[in-house]
Amino acid sequence: MKIKILLRGTLTKYFEGDKERIAEIPDSCTAEEALKLVGIDWTKIDNFGFVAINGMRAMIYDKLKDGDELKAYSKISGG
Amino acid sequence: MLGYQNKVLRIDLSKKTAKTEPLRMDWAEKYIGSKGLTIKYLYEELKPGIDPLSEDNKLIFMTGPMTGTTVPCSGKLSVAGKSPATGTICDCSIGGHAALRIKYAGYDAIIIEGALNKPGYLLIEDDNISFEDGSELWGKGCHETEAILIDKYDHDYSVLTIGPAGETLSGMACITSDYYRQAGRGGMGSVMGSKNLKAVVVKGTGKVEIPNIVDAVKRIAEIEREDTLLEDNTFVFDLGTTAFLEACQDGGILPYKNFSDTTDENWTEYNGDVLMEKLAGKRGCGSCGLGCGNFLKIGDAICEGPEYETIAAFGPNAGNRDPEAIVKANQVADDMGLDTISAGDVLNWAMEMTEKGIYDFGIHFGEMDKYIEYLKMMAKGEGIGKELAMGVKKLAEKYGGSDFAMHVKGLEYPQYEPRGSWGMSLAYAVSDRGACHMRAYAPNEEVFAASIPPYTPEGKGELVFNLAQFNAVKFSLCICDFWATLSMDTMAELMTLVTGKEWTADDMAEVGTRVINIARAFNQREGFTAKDDTAPKRIFNDALKNGPAAGQKIPEEAFEDMKQQYYAVMGWNADGTLPDSLIATL
């Protein structure tokens, strides 16, 4: 299935500065698995923040559907 | 210990005297500086039960041992007194350059007592202190006042000033410096106004001594390269806090129409990328390599910022999606010397009151021209603005609508919806100055994180304690919140470098806990108890309708559970009071 992956903050370096990319992923892929397929292993990124699916905060292990928009943020702090 | 000037400037405005005295180094060893040390001074020097707007209150400007050194992000100044908005202790942190100039003038702190019998300002040029006539400045906005004083003196001077809101003694009056930097919360501007003190003008030409200066400066530079100028921190140079808007929208904590819901379908119209297209200039505070200040210009409106808090307060929470109106309202509030968070919450509450038909304040959601006029009226104490300047707690007591009056202890809610971040409801409730996001920023751990569930009380007591303890240390060192990668170990090393006394991470943690405790002891002495550690009824009763937190409300038993967790971690009694044994250690 096809999804759109958007990166925010310092994570854009994983797309060579681009903010988004279309990705082909297997059915029933989780957010974690989809990110790994495009070279982003969140467990190895100290400043990884959170993910949102279709504009809604989600857990990293939530499953994706065809056409979903997966957004990954670097850590945010301050206030 | 080096790093300090070992000197306090004590000003008695009633007698027009200026005396110096040694800094209480025995206190500095326990509370370091800035936040912690200023609270200790107020705890020892203020009589319980005083009127915050009387001559009995004191206003303290406190630096820290790192102020004026090359330690990164150390340009913050603590401004503190008893709050007229809440009756609690209140310390604020203001950026810019005033902290450095006070320190270079030779002082760790300025303690201001009494009151002038007519408007004036204080001029400090190293050892030379004078009391100047301020009658020509009274009534003027912060921006014009600062411009007049800088024109009269020079750019080597810093100005700390109040606007009309401080003069009319509003509980949401700021103290402003460098035009757009504020000691924003809890009405410190009205404490200054109650003393007829329009401004403090300061120039310093001295220095700060630290031990082994060549090696120390070399190591501090290494720390700056290795720990400060990292991409985790430098995002604030590129986007400032406008970066939070999208994250809060997706995280389900962006408040909408006076916290009646979260998220806004129109958020892209005022998102950070839209605002940053209007960038007109940049700057940073003294001793800062991050430079978070962004000047935005849209149409005729210009301000430094708007920061996330202001975007949310004057944007979705006001039912507004026009970025120009956000910038204009920010510009006006800053000039008037009004805290944008509190002023925004008051007007947003008033709009809901009007729309619900409970009381007609003459303003509806999204009416931004009127909103901006109301801000001016609130600051000047004119018409309906005089009523609104009371703050949302007192307004709700008079007009109703208390279930959706968003405050704790009389300080209005920051712009993070706690039903989407349960730990934040606890952080607001137990904060030492009422609802504050700077004491423990829970969304960072429970919303902006990939695997921590935000909608549960589990572990939230310890979470909020850890965040609060860390910030109590950071702000006692006068270091800015935006150095996000800072650790207890690094803070201990920096303290060792600037003071020459060996500090460990455990020492720093102990200071953090002590600072939380003394602030609590101050408030306890003023009569605050566990029943004041609360949340607006809306948080308990009304489920959110939209966004990822849709369906969420916080059960009261879950809230009480979080409070008890926190009290237990702090070693407090179940009723939220400090045991005598703990008070004896302060």
Does the pLDDT of residue B324 top 90, yes or no? yes
- What pLDDT is stored for residue B240 in this prediction? 86
Rounded to the nearest 10°, the torsion over CA A36, A39, A41, A47 is: -140
Cβ contacts of B310-314, under 8 Å, gap ≥ 24: B310/B340, B310/B341, B310/B344, B311/B242, B311/B245, B311/B270, B311/B275, B312/B245, B312/B248, B312/B254, B312/B255, B312/B415, B313/B340, B313/B341, B313/B343, B313/B344, B313/B345, B313/B348, B313/B415, B314/B340, B314/B344, B314/B368, B314/B371
pLDDT class of B55 with cuts at 50, 70, 90: very high
Q: pLDDT digit string (tens) for B457-481?
A: 999 999 999 999 999 999 999 999 9
Residue B104 placed within a domain: yes
Residue A30 placed within a domain: yes
Distances, alpha carbon B115 to alpha carbons B14, B128, B272, B290, in Å: 5, 20, 43, 38
Complex ipTM: 0.96
Q: Which of B244, B414, B437 is closest, CB to CB, to A76?
A: B244
Q: Which helix (H) or strand (E) holds B304?
A: strand B301-304
Number of Cβ atoms within 10 Å of the Cβ of A67: 10
- What pLDDT is stored for residue B425 in this prediction? 98
Total number of domains in chain A:
1
Nearest residue to B57 via CA among B115, B109, B7: B115
Residue-range definition of the domain harbouring residue B71? 8-203
Q: CA-to-CA distance for B505 and B142, rounded, in angstroms?
A: 40
Which chain A residues are within 8 Å of B236, Cβ to Cβ? 78
As a whole number, mean pLDDT of residues B156-182 equals 97
Residue type (1 letter), B431: S
Q: What is the 3-state secondary structure (H, E, C) of B533-555?
A: CCCCHHHHHCCCCCCCCCCCCCC
- How far is the alpha carbon of B93 from chain A, nearest alpha carbon, in Å? 13
Q: How would you classify residue B401: left for phi > 0, otherwise alpha for psi between -120 and 50, otherwise beta?
A: left
As a whole number, mean pLDDT of residues B366-379 equals 98
- What pLDDT is stored for residue A79 in this prediction? 55
Report the percentage of chain B scoring pLDDT > 70.
100
Total number of domains in chain B:
1
Does the pLDDT of residue A78 top 70, yes or no? no
Q: CA-to-CA distance for B528 and B83, rounded, in angstroms?
A: 13
Give the pairing type, strands B197-203 and B158-161.
Answer: antiparallel
Residue-wise over B447-468: b if at least 16 C-beta within 10 A, else e? bbbbeeebbebeebbebbbebb
Does the pLDDT of residue A77 top 80, yes or no? no
Q: Which of A10, A42, A79 is closest, CB to CB, to B450?
A: A42
Residue B433 placed within a domain: no
Residue B366 placed within a domain: no
Most B-contacting residue of A20, A57, A68 (CB-CB within 10 A), to test interface = A57
Q: CA-to-CA distance for B270 and B308, rounded, in angstroms?
A: 11
Q: CA-to-CA distance for B533 and B185, rounded, in angstroms?
A: 18
Does the pLDDT of residue A42 top 80, yes or no? yes
Which is more confident, A75 or B306?
B306
- What pLDDT is stored for residue A47 in this prediction? 86
* First CA to last CA distance, chain A: 38
Q: pLDDT digit string (tens) for B307-317?
A: 999 999 999 99
Does the pLDDT of residue B306 top 70, yes or no? yes
Residue B280 placed within a domain: no
Give the pairing type, strands A2-8 and A20-24.
Answer: antiparallel
Please give the distance of CA B426 from its chain centroid, rounded to a whole number. Answer: 18
Which is more confident, B243 or B13?
B13
As a whole number, mean pLDDT of residues B537-564 equals 98
Size of interface A-B (CB pairs under 8 A): 85
Which chain A residues are within 8 Å of B247, Cβ to Cβ? 8, 49-50, 73, 76
As a whole number, mean pLDDT of residues B398-417 equals 98
As a whole number, mean pLDDT of residues A30-52 equals 95
As a whole number, mean pLDDT of residues B273-277 equals 93
Does the pLDDT of residue B142 top 80, yes or no? yes
Which chain B residues are within 8 Å of A55, Cβ to Cβ? 249-250
Task: For residue B290, give every residue at least 6 positions away whose Cβ sits within 8 Å of its Cβ, in sequence order, or none.
Answer: B72, B73, B228, B229, B233, B234, B236, B237, B284, B480, B482, B483
- What pLDDT is stored for residue B254 in this prediction? 98
Nearest CA in chain B to A70: B250
Q: Do B247 and A10 touch (CB under 8 A)?
A: no
Residue-range definition of the domain harbouring residue A58? 2-74
Q: Which of B416, B481, B548 is closest, CB to CB, to A57?
A: B548
Phi, psi of B110 (to 5 degrees): -120, 120
Q: CA-to-CA distance for B132 and B73, rounded, in angstroms?
A: 32
Q: CA-to-CA distance for B129 and B123, rounded, in angstroms?
A: 6
Q: Do B444 and A75 touch (CB under 8 A)?
A: yes
Nearest residue to A71 via CA among A56, A62, A79, B45: A56
Most A-contacting residue of B250, B308, B480 (CB-CB within 10 A), to test interface = B250
CATH of the domain at B143: 3.60.9.10
CATH of the domain at A11: 3.10.20.30
Nearest residue to B430 via CA among B523, B543, B538: B523
Residue A79 placed within a domain: no
Residue type (1 letter), B312: A
Helix orientation angle between B488-499 and B460-476, rounded to the nearest 10 degrees: 20
Residue type (1 letter), B239: L
